[in-house]
Structure 1
Amino acid sequence: MRHDEMIGKVQALAQLPDRGSAERATHAVLRTLGERLPAGLAGHLAAQLTPELAAPVRAATASAAADGRPSGIGERFGLPVFAGRIAGRAGTDEDAALREAAAVLEVLDAALAPELMTKVGEELPSDIRELLPSGRSTEDTGGTGDNGPG
């Protein structure tokens, strides 16, 4: 899926007023998702995105490496921290951040390989996994994603 198409779909799904808002929301969600996922999985995610959308995911993994965090695990945080980070980055409140995250995840689900989205879902704690499209959020992924602090 092309960059403009993905941003347009996020704008429509999240009912955002303009493309700039959709771009900010998408980048905020992808950066935060990149922080939550192990570096290898985040790299696979970035590889299936356009360069513009891969950049925030790669920035998250680069930041983790610079901070000396192990690459095999992502940061452990739950929905409150996830929503707070997205809200701060997108310049919105947490309720809007959750709507925007759900929209971005739905667009990603349509754009990326199903196997990759299954792996992403497996790494997310159940509270964040609820933001995935209904078919994925109800799957019993048996994943390792824990809620952790937050």
Structure 2
Amino acid sequence: MQHDELLGLVQARAALPDRGRAERAVRATLETVAERVPAGLAQHLAAQLPHEIAEPMLRVSEEHSPAEGRPSGGERFDLTIFAGRVAWRGGVSEEAALQEATAVFEVLDAALSPELMEKLSHSLPHDIRELLPLARAEEFT
């Protein structure tokens, strides 16, 4: 999936006013995901995304790498922290952040390989997993 197509889909699904808002939503969500999942998984996710979207995700993943003295399994946090971080990064309320993150996950489900989405599902706690498309979220309940 190309950069503009991905942003257009997120913009439509989240009913955002413009592409800039969609880009902030994508970036905020994926940077927060990169903090939460193992570094290797973040790199695999980034490899299947357009460069413009993957680069910030890789940067955050590298900041949380074991070389920095952090655990390689990703930082542990729940939906409340996830929503707060996405909201802070995106400059929106936590409610809007969750709506936008849900739209981002829906588009990722179409953009990434099914195997990679399954790995992402497995790496997220139940409460964050509920933001994934319904079929994925229920797959592991």
TM-score, normalising length: structure 2: 0.96
Give the partner amino acid of 1:95.
E
Residue 64 of structure 1: aligned partner: 64
Q: Do 1:34 and 1:56's aligned partners in 2 also have CA atoms closer than 8 Å?
A: no
Partners of 1:59 and 1:82 lie apart in 2 by 18
**Between structures 1 and 2, the one with greater helix share:** 2
3-state SS of 2:139 partner: coil
Work out the percentage of aligned pairs sharing the same amino acid: 61
Structure 1 segments of 4 or more deviating over 2 A?
none
Residue 53 of structure 2: aligned partner: 53
3-state SS of 2:43 partner: helix
Taking only aligned residues, the RMSD between alpha carbons, in angstroms, comes to 1.0
Give the partner amino acid of 1:33.
V
Residue 22 of structure 2: aligned partner: 22
Residue 4 of structure 1: aligned partner: 4
Q: Shift of residue 67 of structure 1?
A: 3.5
Residue 102 of structure 2: aligned partner: 102
Q: Report the number of matched residues.
A: 140
Residue 87 of structure 1: aligned partner: 87
TM-score, normalising length: structure 1: 0.90
Matched, 1:124 2:124: yes
Partners of 1:56 and 1:109 lie apart in 2 by 19
- Structure 2, gaps ≥5 residues long: none
Q: Shift of residue 16 of structure 1?
A: 0.6
